[in-house]
Structure 1
Amino acid sequence: MAEQGLQVRMFGTFSISMDDREINDGDNRSRKVWLLLAYMIYCRSRSISQEELIGLLWNSDERSSNPLNALKTMFHRVRTSLDQLDPSAGHTLIIRRDGNYAWNPDIPFFFDVEEFDRLCRAGAASSKKERRLEIYLKALALYNGDFLQKLSSETWVVPISTYFHNLYLQTLLETLSLLEEREQQEKAASLCRKAVEIEPYNELLYQHLMQNLLALREQREVIRVYEEMSQVLFDNFGIMPADESRALYREAVRTVNDRAVSIGMVKEQLRESEGANGAFFCDYDFFKVIYHAEARAIARSGDAVHICLLSVTGQNGQELPKRSLDRCMENLREIIRGSLRRGDVAARCSVSQYILMLPQANYENSRMVCQRIIKAFCRQYPHSPARLYDSVQPLEPNM
């Protein structure tokens, strides 16, 4: 068996390749085949007993009356898979030793996990920033996803995956600082794009991406990234972006017109699409801007404006399952849009709440509007598990 071209990768897709042949965990094979193969490779520094492997592959409820025979069958399947790389690979790479199984220690190979760890340590130990950056970039190029993603629920995988995930983020953030210090925004932005695919809930990574895109004068892309991040954070955690993220977004919006425009063009850009009936829906950030403007206006005019909060819960105030809540909130949005006037403003302010602004409406009228929305929802969705509650307060003028 030719050993020089053997490569094993466990970051993201688990694959084993040799020369131009490859097998990977996207193939239509049993999950247990890949679990056994991954365990043999990662623990290749020692022989592994049959009892340990049986415990790895089957819990007490799954075990057959002849677990040793079942294990032999599983190894036959593993060897058959390895033989796709080379006709002798199965029996060359996995050997028997004193009744135990082992990965052949005499066959050298490239292993992305070990190389990533080695490079991160070497980079951290380097006293020269240029050399450290060079090494870190090589390390980050190897990290194409978390350790053994398709086996992430396995007990032995969890701590290893967590260690390398944290090492990746630590190395990435230091690398971004080094790149930004050298004004290499294009490289930094490329690393950030890859990072937010691996870690889609880390707002700091989005902030680095937006900062670098702003430096590259890609304002429209900043806006797109911010909107995508906002949706991810809201859908999964019911939270809004931090002040730092909103500041970057406002900077992009402010400078999105990169040349002077006429007042006619500005009016055209501001024009609302035709046929937009009912309440004006906007993001919560923009709702706050409208709120502040309205608070200033009523300090001068004395008009009545009320704020209404519509909250969705399950029976007895319990939380609804996410799928049911999302469906209820989408249905409620359409009810609100059709029930309010064109001058009214609405926004989703939490995962289970809408905030409404009703200009020129007193307290009694505002309560009636809320009750009309609730009744319309109950009438249109009589079997919905949702329960709606309203709260009304006057908008306080900004003096």
Structure 2
Amino acid sequence: MNSGYEITMFGEFTISNGTEIITDQANRSKKVWTLLEYLIVHRDRSVTQKELVDLLWPGNDTKDPINTLKVLMHRVRSLLDELGKDSGKKMIYYKSGAYGWNSELNCVVDTEKFEAALKKADVEVDDKKLDLLLQAIHLYEGDFLQKNGTEPWIIQLSSQYRSKLMQAASEACGMLYEKGRYDELINICRHVVKFSPYEEEFYLYLLKALVKTQQADKAQEEYHRISELFYREFGITPSEELTAIYKEVVETSHMPEMNLEMIKEKLAEEPSAGSFYCEFEFFKTIYRLEARSASRTGQSVYIGLMTVMNAAGDALPNQKTMNRVMDALHDTIRRTLRRGDIFTRYSLNQYLIMLPTTTFETSGMVMERIKKAYRREFPNTPVLLKYSTTPVTPNEFYR
């Protein structure tokens, strides 16, 4: 029997002997995987039957827990037999009322390699330190035992590992940026935000690196994606620092181009129906242009605010419901307004709409039309739509 095994616990749980492999993608019961994973994580000691019973049946909801445990252990060993004849008995021992993982087996585990790399990085400097940090980061291919991630003991360890990943990545990103290794920095940032998508630090590094590598278009796309993500989850815009980088990209991204037809192609909008949706920062710019134009021509400009509430007049408490309603309202606004009209998401439960060349009466009629269109399309949605409109006044033009 091969005594050497590679075990992965970040992301997909696997055990391989170099020839055969078992994986948690196989159709086995959750308790089989929980028992096997627990024994491997605690393979430096014997685990009593009582501890395993408390782990697997915390409410003592089985009549004969010891025999039930024996049956479950038989299933675990049968699973391990897929790695070779009698592998299960050789890999898991029983002694004096306790089970344990055979410590004589040569096992290489990704979580231990991760910890070892970080420990070495603590005492190294410069390139050696950076190499070790990157090695640890690349080992993190998913959250700890993520398929079984609802188990309390797994949640705790998963949180600890992710915290260590974030700390290592923060340090590594700073070093990569200082050394001008921007392509690697981009890859690391994209890797890390898959597991912690709301850490703005890594988006800052990502945008900076995209700018440094002259990928202005990708930097703009990334900012728009981040902005939408933060709106959907928290009802907030990206930080001033992130927005400042975006503005710098917009202002400096274009190389000299002498062919006006080529410039027109870049400016052209993709074919689409309905009104124009944009991020709030862009909406502010258009608003100011409209305000200046209205100041010169005397034409009226109104803005409308549409707010989603529950029956009590509060924001919807369920985030998924809120996102579903806001997505539906987005489509309604886009279809109801004219193609030349503009709107943006202002907060978690609000849309802001620009209404040029309207009066107070007609601005209210437009907002009422949106409200009725939404009610017609989604009559059973338990939400209230409240709106208000206000004119852009001359004093605002020169602030």
TM > 0.5: yes
**What SS does structure 2 have at the residue aligned with 1:231?**
helix
Tell me the equivalent position of 2:99. 101
CA distance in 1, matches of 2:233, 2:272: 32
1:69-127 per-residue CA deviation (whole Å, 9 max, x = no partner) reads 1101111111111111121321111111211111122223112112211211210122x
Output aligned runs, 1:98-247, within 5 Å: 98-126=96-124, 128-247=125-244
Worse overlay, 10-19 or 298-307: 298-307
Question: Secondary structure at 2:21's aligned position in 1?
Answer: strand
Partner of 2:247: 250
Query: Structure 1: which 5+ runs fail to align?
Result: none
Kindly indicate whether residue 2 of structure 2 is the aligned counterpart of residue 2 of structure 1.
yes
Aligned CA distance change for structure 1 residues 8 and 337 (closer, same or farther; 3 Å):
closer
Pick the aligned partner of 2:309 from 305, 313, 336.
Answer: 313
Instruction: Give 1:54's aligned amino acid.
Output: V
Q: Distance in 2 between matches of 1:295 and 1:45?
A: 71
| Residues 305-347 of structure 1: per-residue CA shift (max 9 Å, x gap) | 2211011122222444445434433443343334434443211
Instruction: State the alpha-carbon separation in 1 of the partners of residues 373 and 333 from structure 2.
Output: 9
Q: Residue 380 and residue 182 in structure 1: after superposition, are their counterparts in 2 closer, same or farther (change >3 A)?
A: closer
Higher mean alpha-carbon deviation, 339-348 vs 268-277, is at 268-277
- Equivalence for 1:387: 384
- Calculate the TM-score normalised by the size of structure 1: 0.91
Name the stretch that deviates more: 47-56 or 106-115.
106-115
**How far 1:259 sits from its partner (Å)?**
4.5
Contact 1:306 1:362 (C-alpha < 8 Å) held by counterparts: yes
Q: Which amino acid aligns with 1:313?
A: M
Residue by residue, what CA displacement relative to the aligned partner does 1:185-211 show, whole Å, maximum 9, x if unpaired? 111112112112222222221221221
Contact 1:123 1:133 in 2 (8 A): yes
Equivalent-residue separation in structure 1 for 2:163 and 2:47 (angstroms): 29
Percent identity reads 36
For 2:70, which of 62, 69, 72 is the aligned residue?
72
Offset of 1:12 from its aligned partner?
1.3
Distance change (3 Å), C-alpha of 1:272 and 1:124: same
Task: Supply the distance in 1 between the matched residues of 2:377 and 2:180 (Cα, whole angstroms).
Answer: 57
Stretch moving more, 149-158 or 168-177: 149-158
Pairwise CA distance, 1:36: 0.7
- The structural deviation recorded for 1:14 is 1.3
Shift of 1:359: 1.5
State the SS of the aligned residue for 1:239.
coil
Provide the residue aligned with 2:363 in structure 1: 366
Q: Distance in 2 between matches of 1:89 and 1:259?
A: 68
Tell me the CA shift for residue 286 of structure 1.
Answer: 1.2
Return the TM-score normalized by structure 2. 0.91
The 2-side partners of 1:286 and 1:150 are apart by: 41
In 2, Cα distance between equivalents of 1:336 and 1:25: 45
State the alpha-carbon separation in 1 of the partners of residues 347 and 287 from structure 2: 17
Residue equivalent to 1:282:
278
Residue in structure 2 matched with residue 36 of structure 1 by the alignment: 35
Shift of residue 37, structure 1, vs aligned partner: 0.9
SS at match of 1:285: helix
Query: Post-superposition shift, 1:290?
Result: 0.9
What is the alpha-carbon distance in structure 1 between the residues aligned to residue 2 and residue 44 of structure 2? Answer: 21
SS in structure 2 opposite 1:40? helix
Find the residue that maps to 2:194 and give its secondary structure: helix
The answer to whether the 8 A contact 1:219-1:256 is kept is yes
Aligned residue-pair number: 395
Q: Residue 14 of structure 1 corresponds to which residue in structure 2?
A: 13
Conserved 8 A contact 1:343-1:359: no
The 3-state SS of whatever aligns with 2:379 is coil
**Distance across 2 between alignment mates of 1:73 and 1:129:** 53
SS in 2 for 1:101: strand
Structure 1 residue 276 displacement after superposition = 4.3
